[in-house]
Amino acid sequence: MKDFSGKLAVVTGGGTGMGRELARALVREGCEVAVCDVNAETMEQTLALCAAENPRGVTISSHVCDVSNEGEVLEFRDAVLDAHATDSVQLLFNNAGIGGGGSFVRDDRADWDRTFSICWSGVYLCTRAFLPALMASDEAHLVNTSSVNGFWASLGYNTAHTAYSAAKFAVKGFSEALINDFRLNAPHVKVSLVMPGHIGTEIATNSGRLLGKAEPHEMPTVEVDAARLRMAQQGLAVDELSDDEIRAAVAERNREFREQAPMTAEEAAGVILEGVRAERWRILVGTDAEFMDQAVRAAPEDVYGEDFMERLSQVGHLQAVTASGDDESS
């Protein structure tokens, strides 16, 4: 699919970050876009940005949808087909995701299950729902967002990161299995697996909201005890810090994660769309993702040890990610 003009793209998690930038880039190329998000406020902001840079006057629609809820996903699909007066979709970007539920042992099960269901079930349910519409097209492309944590299940030697990593591994395996499945049963449908490194997004704030720590328009509440423990496990001196100082430290880490990322969400969207045009099934996003991919393949037995983290620190990759305890996408 070399040209997105005249196509219809569905983008999940389109309220912020890479989802928003994918929608904007596609609209600029004359592609109709349907975005969904759980946050109606940020989604409307995306809709306004797309409308302001819509030179060809293509149809743009926005929809409130929790991608982990099959009923809402099916309603979203029906609303998209109705809004765009079609029975076919050419592009599906399964981009929605959050971070959380780091420890299977220590963290709250509800947070673990919520993170896993959005990051994995959202991909599965949306693919199931939109597959007939993709197959009804002359050509179509499914684009699933995994992560470097889809091949390296860690944020560092002293940080548990199980829910997100498990989900992103599932997305990777599902997408790779679909390559042959589509070749045999729907050869006009292609699939790409997106694996970003550290991208500057609002995932930390958005994750807190979705895990029930704030309303959509509020800043999420910092769980001070959990943050203090996580920082202590990372070797930071926190015993003398007050609760307010812990909250301030978390806020500063989140700001650095967003503002000091080696790649912006807009740049990441450009890399993804270039990969789709080239029909690459495997799209690494960022030099840190490329480095991590090579490092994990070179010495898979070593990548969860302390020496490996020392090597990462020396080359300067994923420092803000391992410091914040959150990942890149959404």
pLDDT digits (tens, 9 = 90+) for 83-100: 999 999 999 999 999 988
The pLDDT of residue 41 is: 92
E strands, 134-204, in order? 140-145, 189-196, 199-200
Question: Between 163 and 1, where is the model more confident?
Answer: 163
Question: Strand, helix or coil at 298?
Answer: helix
The pLDDT of residue 214 is: 45
* β-strands 189-196, 8-12 pairing: unpaired
Read off the pLDDT band of 107 (50, 70, 90): confident
Question: Strand, helix or coil at 216?
Answer: coil
Read off the pLDDT band of 182 (50, 70, 90): very high
**CA dist list (Å): 147 to 82, 141, 193:** 32, 19, 9
Alpha helices in 30-84 (DSSP H): 40-52, 70-83
Q: What is the pTM of this model?
A: 0.84
Read off the pLDDT band of 208 (50, 70, 90): very low
Question: CA-CA distance, 266 to 244, in Å (whole number)?
Answer: 34
The tens digit of pLDDT for each residue in 164-180 reads 999 999 999 999 999 99
The pLDDT of residue 327 is: 39
Question: Which option is the CATH number for 8-204+264-324: 3.40.50.1370, 3.40.50.300, 3.40.50.720, 3.40.190.10?
Answer: 3.40.50.720
Phi then psi for residue 187, to 5 deg, are: -65, -15
